[in-house]
Chain A
Amino acid sequence: MRARLHNTIWGTVAWIAGIIFVFPVIWMVLTSFKQEQAAASNPPSWTFTPTLDQYAQIFDRNITPYLLNSLMASIFSTLLVILLATPAAYALSLRPVAKWTDTLFFFISTKMMPAVAALLPVYLLAKHLGMLDNIWTMVILYTSMNLPLAVWMMRSFLLEVPREVLEAGEVDGAGLITSIRKIIMPIVSPGLAATALICFIFAWNEFFLAVNLTATAAGTAPIFLVGFISSEGLFLARLCAAATLVSLPVLIAGWLAQNKLVRGLSMGAVK
């Protein structure tokens, strides 16, 4: 009885904390449906007639190419990451190469290298090759950014494949393709999906490289938001509409992957 009362009290506290944390997001979504005048009022206006004007505005201002660029950079880099990382993770887990620990730590060390140290050479190289403001440059960079994460994560999922089953399959004469299709894939595919979602999130949200290496042709979604930095003549409701729109894909991906999120973020170290 006492325990139940405790749980009710702490449950209420948890609900309040959750609402406080999510409130700025709710506020952002609410504001995106306001007229500018209602958005910039002080004290804040809680009742208003919802409007889609702001969303219409940002599409008028051509947010679509930015969204498409982000979509391209995120999807292609995620595909490339998965194609590179899955076989690599296999060679670091189920049929490990001799120096697999060193290789794993090499991968993770590339993740720890600050992007700011690579910016100038990448910039100069891209300029030299005429690949500045090119979405494929971003695809390559995002692939290398997410590769270590995906290798570590996929490895942690592959290790869950029971060896006995794999060996039994081999004894029964199952070739590599068969064992991948019949044994490995069914066990690993949720992990594969989670890995892909997390890579997608990081690529979609990336700003530092995008702001320095892209302009009008290959500008990604975060770049569209740069125009809202100055407070002078700010359109708050329009900003909120744009922020909501660009955050939406990641919100959905993150909610879908939420059970595997922690594993991805900790490189597979925490289950």
Chain B
Amino acid sequence: MTTMVARRDERTQAPVPPTKGGAKDRWVRRAPLLPALIFALVVTQVPFLYTLYLSTLSWNALRPGDKPFVGLDNYITVFNDSRLRSALFNTVLLTAGAVLFSIILGLLLALLLDRKFIGRSVVRTMLITPFLIMPVAAALLWKHAIFNPAYGLINGIFGGQTDWISSYPKAAVIATLVWQWTPFMMLILLAGLQSQSNEVIEAARVDGANAWQIFRRMTLPHLRQYLELGALLGSIYLVNTFDAIFTITQGGPGTATTNLPYEIYLTTFRKFEYGEASAAGVVVVILTIIVATFALRVISSLFRMEDNR
């Protein structure tokens, strides 16, 4: 990222800066905002505070009796729990794998769609379709209709008896996610490609630059922010992947595909370790905040760009 600007407080991006009105004017301005703000505060922050509180209790819902305060004990358990560590590792691997492959494929498809050809809008509609299939339905479709060893499409077309999901659980989950998320990346990158000025590229071509040089030296740098945005938004959504794990592998075989959301789900609703699950939830929130900070920077730098245009 060339511009490491977290926030643009100095330069207001709205067409008109807020005026210094009296108290009454300020409240008139605030009034339309308040319902949404209060709603968001109550529905998102209160549960989180409650999670913080629960994370300090030793509370297993199967064990009757009191729920003693244990301070940071649950956090120590969380950090020492090898299941959670492996879940963290799986989360990173699954997220990174899915984001990386979907960005590469999305970039290739966006480059194709950036050209003029017959039926371009039809192809675009076909390409976004996987993103619109309900995630659970998509996961089931891949699990049964594509990966199934007996009647799945892969073995049906190419032969063989491979049980894809038990042999390559992580790859199977990633393939499903990549199929669903490539359209998302493609749309963002296509928007980036189409915001590139044609005249500059034409000028470079007249000056004798070949297609690869134009791509390397002009298109890629221009796309950089869009690639970052796609990667970060994709990560934010994919880090929470639950549907695909729950449906395709149930976290298995063993714990091969158990990611953090699935592990916390198991801790909460299978082991009923409420305190521990809460502590793990808090840790996930903190990790997300770290990733999100980067995302916000990218988004605000895009605002900057839009402003300077």
Are A119 and B268 neighbours in the complex by a CB distance under 8 Å? yes
CA distance A145 to B299 in the complex (A): 19
Chain B positions within 8 Å of A118 at CB level: 44, 47-48, 51, 281
B261: min CB distance to chain A, Å: 4
Mark contacts of B99-140 with chain A using CB atoms, 8 A cut-off: 1 yes-contact digit, 0 otherwise: 000000000110011011111101111111111111111101
Are B150 and A40 neighbours in the complex by a CB distance under 8 Å? yes
CB < 8 Å neighbour of A10 from B117, B143, B291: B117
CA distance A234 to B145 in the complex (A): 11
Interface check A221, CB cutoff 8 A: yes
The residue in chain B whose Cβ has the minimal distance to the Cβ of A44 is B156
Chain A positions within 8 Å of B126 at CB level: 18-19, 21-22
Binds A, one of B71-79, B196-204, B282-290: B282-290
CA distance A22 to B303 in the complex (A): 33
- 8 A-B pairs besides A24-B130, A91-B32, A116-B240 with CB distance below 8 A are A13-B112, A14-B112, A107-B40, A117-B285, A122-B47, A236-B145, A251-B132, A267-B299
Chain B positions within 8 Å of A131 at CB level: none
CA distance A42 to B36 in the complex (A): 54
With an 8 Å Cβ cutoff, the count of chain A residues facing the other chain is 105
CA distance A236 to B246 in the complex (A): 18
B54: min CB distance to chain A, Å: 7
CA distance A201 to B131 in the complex (A): 11
With an 8 Å Cβ cutoff, the count of chain B residues facing the other chain is 114
Most chain A beta-carbon neighbours within 10 Å: one of B140, B240, B265, B285? B140
The residue in chain A whose Cβ has the minimal distance to the Cβ of B240 is A114
CB < 8 Å neighbour of B133 from A25, A42, A236: A25
Chain A positions within 8 Å of B271 at CB level: none
Are B268 and A120 neighbours in the complex by a CB distance under 8 Å? yes
Are A236 and B281 neighbours in the complex by a CB distance under 8 Å? no
CA distance A183 to B175 in the complex (A): 47
Q: Can you list 12 contacts pairing A with B, beta carbon distance less than 8 Å?
A: A18-B123, A19-B126, A22-B127, A113-B288, A117-B264, A118-B48, A204-B134, A207-B136, A222-B136, A254-B129, A269-B303, A270-B302
CA distance A269 to B233 in the complex (A): 11
Describe B's contact surface by its main secondary structure.
Answer: helix
CA distance A108 to B226 in the complex (A): 18
Are A270 and B112 neighbours in the complex by a CB distance under 8 Å? no
CA distance A10 to B44 in the complex (A): 47
B interface list, Cβ under 8 A from A: 7-9, 12, 14-18, 26, 29-33, 35-37, 39-40, 43-48, 50-51, 54, 108-109, 112-113, 115-120, 122-138, 140-146, 148, 150-151, 153, 155-157, 179, 182-184, 187-188, 190-192, 195, 226, 229, 233, 236, 239-240, 242-243, 246-247, 250, 260-261, 264-265, 268-269, 274, 277-278, 281-282, 284-285, 288-289, 291-292, 295-296, 299, 302-303, 306
Interface check A262, CB cutoff 8 A: yes
A158: min CB distance to chain B, Å: 10
Chain A positions within 8 Å of B39 at CB level: 84, 143-144, 147
CA distance A271 to B192 in the complex (A): 9
A interface list, Cβ under 8 A from B: 7-8, 10-15, 17-19, 21-22, 24-25, 27-28, 31, 39-44, 84-85, 87-88, 90-93, 95-98, 100-101, 103, 105-125, 140-141, 143-144, 147-148, 151, 159, 163, 201, 204-205, 207-208, 211-212, 221-222, 225-226, 228-229, 231, 234, 236, 239-240, 242-243, 246-247, 250-251, 253-255, 258, 261-262, 265-267, 269-271
Are A10 and B112 neighbours in the complex by a CB distance under 8 Å? yes
Are A117 and B247 neighbours in the complex by a CB distance under 8 Å? no
Describe A's contact surface by its main secondary structure.
Answer: helix
Chain B positions within 8 Å of A255 at CB level: 125, 132
CB < 8 Å neighbour of B32 from A88, A231, A271: A88
Are B47 and A24 neighbours in the complex by a CB distance under 8 Å? no
CB < 8 Å neighbour of B26 from A42, A98, A121, A229: A98
A177: min CB distance to chain B, Å: 13
A229: min CB distance to chain B, Å: 6
Are A14 and B288 neighbours in the complex by a CB distance under 8 Å? no
CA distance A222 to B2 in the complex (A): 43
Are A269 and B285 neighbours in the complex by a CB distance under 8 Å? no
Are A108 and B142 neighbours in the complex by a CB distance under 8 Å? no
CB < 8 Å neighbour of B36 from A15, A85, A121: A85
Chain A positions within 8 Å of B239 at CB level: 114
Chain B positions within 8 Å of A85 at CB level: 36
Are A265 and B47 neighbours in the complex by a CB distance under 8 Å? no
Are B51 and A18 neighbours in the complex by a CB distance under 8 Å? no
CB < 8 Å neighbour of A239 from B122, B144, B289: B144
Chain B positions within 8 Å of A98 at CB level: 18, 26, 29
- 9 shortest A-B CB distances, which residue pairs? A11-B117, A87-B32, A117-B281, A88-B36, A243-B137, A121-B50, A254-B132, A91-B33, A144-B43
Chain B positions within 8 Å of A91 at CB level: 29-33
CB < 8 Å neighbour of A17 from B9, B43, B127, B190: B127
Chain A positions within 8 Å of B157 at CB level: 43-44
The residue in chain B whose Cβ has the minimal distance to the Cβ of A10 is B115
Most chain B beta-carbon neighbours within 10 Å: one of A7, A96, A143? A96
